[in-house]
A and B are shown apart, each in its own frame.
Chain A
Amino acid sequence: MATQISPCSSSSTTFPPSSLNQDTFSSAKFFNFSTKSSSSRWVFKIHSRINPKNQFELKSSNGYPLNAISLQDGAAEMPLAKELVSREQAESNLSVTIVGASGDLAKKKIFPALFALFYEDCLPQNFTIFGYARTKMTDEELREMISRTLTCRIDKRENCGDKMEEFLGRCFYHSGQYNSEEHFAELDSKLKQKEGGKVSNRLFYLSIPPDIFVDVVRCASGKASSKNGWTRVIVEKPFGRDAESSGELTRSLKQYLAEDQIFRIDHYLGKELVENLSVLRFSNLVFEPLWSRNYIRNVQFIFSEDFGTEGRGGYFDNYGIIRDIMQNHLLQILALFAMETPVTLDAEDIRNEKVKVLRSMRQLRLEDVVIGQYKGHSKGGKTHLGYTEDPTVPNDSLTPTFAAAALFIDNARWDGVPFLMKAGKALNTRRAEIRVQFRHVPGNLYKRNFGTDLDKATNELVLRVQPDEAIYLKINNKIPGLGMRLDRSDLNLLYSTRYSKEIPDAYERLLLDAIEGERRLFIRSDELDAAWSIFTPLLKELEAKKIAPELYPYGSRGPVGAHYLAANYNVRWGDLAGDD
């Protein structure tokens, strides 16, 4: 049992910002005596996000075993819990240790995300941040390093400097080897010192290469676990290279950690529009009736980057785009997209549904995949190097930097609907989006108004995850004027025009969730297994047969093979349609 914050509220729907409760209900106690569920009500329109820290509430934050439902209910029935809140709150302490603190991810994402959470009052009152890496560094040097990447939200600049100072004052550094129990024991004693004997919760963020995951987990778990609070470990991809290595990694992790301590992060799941996907589906009447093979012709998951490995291909070359993007990010989004309605929005319910989708999917076959690799290209006097010209990449590398795949979910809802994925580096644009193409209108009265290509006249729902978050629905509309000419117009919602607030980085959300024990956006071991089992045979075959990727020029739209793959399933890629 641990204390924690709810107001900043994680992605969970569970705890209301208490300051708001008072508006709606006479007292906060109301909630605790409500026996219905642990999740209380939210007020529909809330303007203030930030809440006083002393309103933190108690919540069972511990990992639930997979059959978590009963525990959830149990938590809800503890009317006395509230009274423990203030005492526990004052006494508990959160330590976040970033293992691999000198790395790129830590500098660019993790520290800034922690600062943003701090700035928004989403971190508990007593928290400490430790950097851990092999580099020799003083606390001051760490602070110096971090401070360069901290920024305040555009819309909340006041006190920014003060807040930064305060934040940096809570950041410390400990240098040590990743496989040294001794060094972790030293870290432990430093942590203890900061914690001052209070209930201490510890979060380790492993921002390190995969080959040392297990060592670190062993040392951290053995020597630096919390004795009286929770200990959680956030792990970044890659989670293995295939079903076997992933299974092996999971087994190793589980020697030292329980399932509910492992937080496998997939930062795409923390993206605003991915979060919104379930909201769209399940809180609107107008989408769910259409959400099946009856109305949906195909679904496309598209990821593209407009840059290559740029001298940092060492890691990538060992994995390739399929493992780097498809098997995790795109597949996770697919599972969220296609899952059945979960029993509740609780993590286990949602992950149960996602696993069901993954387990209903056919293993990917070689003929349903097109791979590509970018080659050098000169444009406008500027030469872009090909992938194999990257000094960190072997000259004869066959690693795909582009892949397109057609996947199928053999369940009642989705039988026969192609789910197409496309991911690539060094393409002409940078974007991530979900496109849902609807079927033709049966017996369309307006058929003759649409030229010959009826495909162009189908409705399409686009969720643009990045950049410029937006949702739009392409509809056929009459062009105003005399006569009857139709075109496709968009019913759209562009986030930047509707919501003036800066959208938080995915890492903020995910870190906060990990702190709060909200597992919805983290990948469970069985999800990971299921995901790998879809891709592993194909990946093996590609490597065993040394399939040569189709080369495409840097900055192009990718190999044309992707179109032929789509055409096999009567699909046309929505992102290259020209009217986009």
Chain B
Amino acid sequence: MATYPPSTHCPSSSAYSNNSSLINGSNRLPQRTSFPSILRKRCRSTKLYLHQSSNGVSLSKAVHVQDGAKSMKASPVENDGPVKILKDGILSVPPVTPPEESIDIASFDFNKDKSTVSITVVGASGDLAKKKIFPALFALYYEGCLPEHFTIFGYARSKMTDAELRTMVSKTLTCRIDQRENCGEKMDQFLERCFYHPGQYDSQENFLELDKKLKEHEDRLFLKILAGRVANRLFYLSIPPNIFIDAVKCASCSASSANGWTRVIVEKPFGRDSESSAALTRSLKQYLDEDQIFRIDHYLGKELVENLSVLRFSNLIFEPLWSRQYIRNVQFIFAEDFGTEGRGGYFDNYGIIRDIMQNHLLQILALFAMETPVSLDAEDIRNEKVKVLRSMRPLRLDDVVTGQYKSHTRGGVKYPAYVDDKTVPSDSLTPTFAAAALFIDNARWDGVPFLMKAGKALHDRRAEIRVQFRHVPGNLYNKNIGTDLDLATNELVIRVQPDEAIYLKINNKVPGLGMRLDRSNLNLLYAARYSKEIPDAYERLLLDAIEGERRLFIRSDELDAAWSLFTPVLKELEDKKIVPEYYPYGSRGPVGSHYLAARYKVRWGDVGSEQ
């Protein structure tokens, strides 16, 4: 049985660790026990790690197994048997755990962290690794969220020594603003546990060398562990898609954990369309089981996306409104205020629809629109998300507007066009902007337009969800609202970035004599309410992967369903060589998106005079 630090504190995104019920030993408590609503401390000492079944649960059996887990209260240890079968990727012998151990747990002696975890960042010299992955790992370490015994390996083709890697990594590490103490010391400790191994991505041999090094470190760490020798391994593939499979093959065959779990985090792109995505999945599954594959969509790790379900399901006041009866339309908006800036090579092959819509925005849409899941477990949530995706109509060409930015001079500065980018073919038709209208043909959402808009080189940078409510039927105050009733509807805005916020636009009486109405916001600005720095999405996702929490990762069937919505239109765009509408760099994007919205009686909420 794989043990790993679960999580009361570094608590994964999961709301539910089995551990507390083990602690309590109570027969009545559900396996997920209550968190105190307000816990000051986020990460307790690593000594508090507990047993938890972290294993992947096969999709069809998910519910069943959960129930099984629930019933194993009296003596957790004896239940190792059933659980181990379901473990991810491995069927090895569970660690020998004397029964006293569980008693120890019950008596709150938690110093039994019997596993190690090795995190290998494949593509360690790349940008994402430097900017996001290492800093996220350090942040987790700093907060005491990594297991006590961990090792980090960088793997890439560049020749580098451990020291060189450390120098490189150290440049991007920062401490949280609110927790500066011991920062330098912590950094040094962290860096000491970072190592480097150069190798080819398709070389079994090089991965075998890596395996050897990993074992050395694991063995060294085992010396510190009294009982149990579970070595878990996490590979983060931060490499171009064409070498995914090679790296997976080598890692899986030559560097898998012998007695713990082996998990692989994969970054987008997951193919270019249904076929290539399916081919990729098939290839991955030659070497990995579904529950070993962690497809990351870092938007799902954003604080406010995480909060979306909390808002919906832990408040009474939203869910009654969450349907076609009250919601007129929903908008998912993503804007960047810069272009490809000389790095368009990858982008040009994919375009904004694949790069942003088909994954990030669609994932958020699915979370937004899903039915209430049976529980907050990964499989329950992903089941609901798949249902939404499968209820959606494939996108039609009519319902899409594409755009590409052109050069623009402003304030004496000339901003280049997309095709001016040297890494982009000068005749490229790749959209850098797209707007789309999608529909979910189920009972809850029939007829409600779900609009998406994503673009580069726009006038601002933002990601937000806007929910526009219907008109008030028989509104007594219609005459106070002027001619455009659309301006007077309620709107819920969840701003994912920047400046995380939630606000609800309501009509309010302007104070004073007379009766004039305006729209005011009931708002919650995170910066004003929460002083803590919001962790980067990668921290959350890495922690989840370590803890085996799959809720925020994309399952294969989700991915298939997502592609099947977009593949026909993507093919058509390419076959017909549809020319994108050009828009100036730094503008609000092609006006075509307004006409698309107008066709469905929608007005984009982000370009109104008031936002």
Contacts and interface: CB of A to CB of B under 8 A. Distances in A.
Given A284-B490, A483-B42, A503-B512, A447 B143 contact: no
Interface in B65-114: none
Nearest to A451: B37
Contacts of A478: 303, 306-307, 310
Given A44-B518, A493-B522, A286 B511 contact: no
Contact of A39 (B320, B479, B517): B479
B37 A486 contact: yes
B500 interface: yes
Contact of B11 (A122, A457, A483, A490): A483
A285 B475 CA distance: 9
Interface stretch (B247-255, B266-274, B358-366, B523-531): B523-531
A491 B319 contact: no
Given A446-B15, A491-B504, A279 B33 contact: no
A545 interface: no
A285 B477 contact: no
A43 B520 CA distance: 16
A295 B477 contact: no
4 nearest CB pairs, A to B: A483-B11, A44-B482, A9-B514, A491-B522
Interface in A445-480: 445-452, 456-459, 469, 471-473, 475-480
Nearest to A469: B511
Given A9-B513, A441-B314, A448 B373 contact: no
A485 B34 CA distance: 10
Interface string A422-462: 00000000000000001111011111111110001111000
Contact of A452 (B34, B315, B471, B540): B34
A475 B317 contact: yes
A84 interface: no
B245 interface: no
Given A344-B476, A445-B376, A478-B307, A450 B34 contact: yes
Contacts of A486: 35, 37, 310, 314
Contact of B30 (A24, A43, A117, A448): A448
Contacts of A10: 513-514
A252 B532 CA distance: 66
Contacts of A283: 472, 475-477, 480-481, 488, 507, 517
B499 to A, nearest CB: 13
Contacts of B498: none
B36 interface: yes
B513 A512 contact: yes
Contacts of A11: 513-515
Contacts of B35: 448-451, 484-486
A487 B38 contact: yes
A343 B338 CA distance: 53
A526 to B, nearest CB: 22
B33 to A, nearest CB: 6
Interface in B295-351: 303, 306-307, 309-311, 313-317, 319-321, 326
A318 interface: no
Interface of B is mostly: loop
Contact of B534 (A446, A480, A499): A480
Contacts of A491: 502-504, 522-524
Contacts of A481: 42, 532, 534-535
A341 interface: yes
Interface centre among B470, B480, B502, B539 (most CB of A within 10 A): B480
A13 interface: yes
Nearest to B15: A484
Contacts of B159: none
A120 interface: yes
Interface string A278-305: 1110111110111000010000000000
A495 B36 contact: no
B303 A480 contact: yes
B597 interface: no
B543 interface: yes
A295 B475 contact: no
Interface residues of B, number: 91
A445 B314 contact: yes
Contacts of A490: 524, 529
A492 interface: yes
A285 B472 contact: yes
Contacts of B15: 446, 448-449, 484
Contacts of B526: 480
Interface string A355-393: 000000000000000000000000000000000000000
A342 interface: yes
B40 to A, nearest CB: 10
Interface string B196-219: 000000000000000000000000
A9 to B, nearest CB: 4
A12 interface: yes
A285 B326 contact: yes
Contacts of B513: 8-11, 49, 117, 120, 122, 504, 508-509, 512
Interface centre among B7, B36, B472, B515 (most CB of A within 10 A): B515
Interface of A is mostly: loop
A154 interface: no
A465 B129 CA distance: 54
Contacts of B497: none
B598 to A, nearest CB: 21
A576 interface: no
Nearest to A279: B509
B578 interface: no
Interface of A: 7-13, 17, 24, 39-46, 49, 117, 120, 122, 272, 275-276, 278-280, 282-286, 288-290, 295, 341-342, 344-345, 438-441, 443-452, 456-459, 469, 471-473, 475-487, 489-493, 495, 498-499, 501, 503-504, 508-509, 512
A492 B508 contact: no
Given A478-B307, A486-B37, A295 B480 contact: no
30 contacts: A10-B514, A42-B479, A44-B516, A279-B508, A279-B517, A280-B507, A280-B508, A283-B507, A284-B490, A286-B321, A286-B469, A341-B476, A344-B476, A439-B316, A441-B313, A444-B313, A444-B314, A448-B35, A449-B34, A449-B35, A469-B511, A477-B310, A480-B526, A480-B535, A482-B143, A492-B524, A493-B506, A493-B508, A498-B520, A501-B511
B514 A49 contact: yes
A343 B610 CA distance: 32
B521 interface: yes
Contacts of A457: 37, 314
A13 B314 contact: no
B190 to A, nearest CB: 17
A487 B307 CA distance: 11
Contacts of B479: 13, 39-42
A70 B317 CA distance: 39
Contacts of A472: 522
A10 B512 CA distance: 10
A299 to B, nearest CB: 15
B482 A451 contact: no
Given A40-B479, A482-B543, A493 B507 contact: no
Contact of A482 (B42, B320, B470): B42
B34 A282 contact: no
A275 B509 contact: yes
Contacts of A501: 511-512
A42 B515 contact: yes
B535 A482 contact: yes
B9 interface: yes
Contacts of B326: 285-286, 289
Interface centre among B15, B43, B513 (most CB of A within 10 A): B513
A492 to B, nearest CB: 6
Contact of A45 (B34, B320, B375, B518): B518
Contacts of A512: 513
Interface string B474-502: 11110111101001111010000000101
A44 B372 contact: no
